[in-house]
Amino acid sequence: MTLASTAAQSPAAAPAVVLTIAGSEATGGAGAQADLKTFQELGVFGIANLTCIVSFDPKDSWNHRFVPVDQQVIADQLEATTAAYSAVAGAPSVPGRPVLDTVKIGMLGSPATIGTVATALEAGAFRNVVLDPVLICKGQEPGHALDTDQALKAKILPLATFVTPNHFEAESLSGLAITDVESLKAAAIRIHELSGAAVLAKGGVRLAGPDAVDVYYDGETLEVLSAPKVGEAAVSGAGCSLAAAVTAELAKGATPLEAARTAKEFVTAGIRNRVASGAPFDALWQGGGR
């Protein structure tokens, strides 16, 4: 049967529409590329509004070359996207047109971009704001941009409904040292108290033991999500894909806890079937669960 005749017989249901506000990571492992691949794999219509372009430098130990997108261009992208899909507060919904009510925030990279994005989020009508609080990329030194970290905490964290900090980010946001599952739980609880958001705090390969352990907390339910570690090496795109998978599932109507569970399975399959890379980290394969 041809595609055309399939479509004629049974038009597919309109997919949920989701937006990622994120940076491009040129090698395709992380950032907006990982988000879009995750969205496609999980059956939602993905949109990326770019905040910056990161190109690792193979001549300089694969350090990050970071170029911000012009603030006006970021604002223009957000204006176009929110107008196209009725995601502006007070905008009437149009019958038959999906409403964009679920957004993921990835790398913002500067206090100026954080201000631009916060303004758009405040003007928008988003039911789900999933924040991957990218304070640091794999291989970078912690604390390289304290002003950016502080602006993210002050302006974006309070707008988030779901937040997915990794080990370093969970320590930074909670102010707690995380050495084991118990301290990861304490950090997740603290970050929920600070933000009001559902929290999926990731231990990943940073905590000792045979399992990659994450902690979910939403103010009522505390759940430890655990899967056998796939090696001890970090994989590029794991954090981006986890948050993007949460975003896709929320947009499709999952509860936050269901979204967290599905996202953990999605990322585990993607790490198991990762793509070998000459960059310092292999890349998660979003098709790994097929």
Question: Binders of ligand PXL among 29-68, rule CB under 6 A?
Answer: 30-31, 54
Q: What b/e readout covers 204-238, taking b as 16+ CB neighbours within 10 angstroms?
A: bbbbeeeebbbbbbbeeeebebbbebbeeebbbbb
Q: Is position 74 an interface residue for ligand PXL (rule: CB under 6 A)? A: no
**Choices 24-32, 89-97, 215-223, 227-235; region in contact with ligand PXL by CB under 6 A:** 24-32
Q: Is position 203 an interface residue for ligand PXL (rule: CB under 6 A)? A: no
Residues 107, 109, 114, 120: is their CA dihedral positive or negative? negative
Q: Report the C-alpha gap between 276 and 24 in whole angstroms.
A: 19
**Least distance (Å) from ligand PXL to the CB of residue 213?**
19
Site string for ligand PXL, 95-114 (x = CB under 6 A): -----------xx-------
- Token reading at 54: 């990161």
Rounded to the nearest 10 degrees, the angle between the axes of helix 31-41 and helix 238-251 is: 40
Q: Is position 239 an interface residue for ligand PXL (rule: CB under 6 A)? A: yes
Q: Is 239 within 8 Å of 164 (Cβ atoms)?
A: yes
Choice from 19, 137, 199, 242 touching ligand PXL (CB under 6 A): 137
**Choices 19-27, 142-150, 167-175, 209-217; region in contact with ligand PXL by CB under 6 A:** 19-27
Q: Beta-carbon neighbour count of residue 86 at 10 Å?
A: 18
Closest to ligand PXL by CB, 107 vs 130, is 107
CA distances from 141 to 64, 113, 137, 157, 159 (A): 11, 21, 8, 22, 27
Closest to ligand PXL by CB, 24 vs 86, is 24
Q: How far is CA 202 from the centre of its chain?
A: 12
Q: Is position 134 an interface residue for ligand PXL (rule: CB under 6 A)? A: yes
**Choices 21-29, 37-45, 86-94, 260-268; region in contact with ligand PXL by CB under 6 A:** 21-29
Q: Is position 23 an interface residue for ligand PXL (rule: CB under 6 A)? A: yes
Give residues in contact with ligand PXL (CB under 6 A).
Answer: 22-25, 30-31, 54, 106-107, 134, 137, 239-240
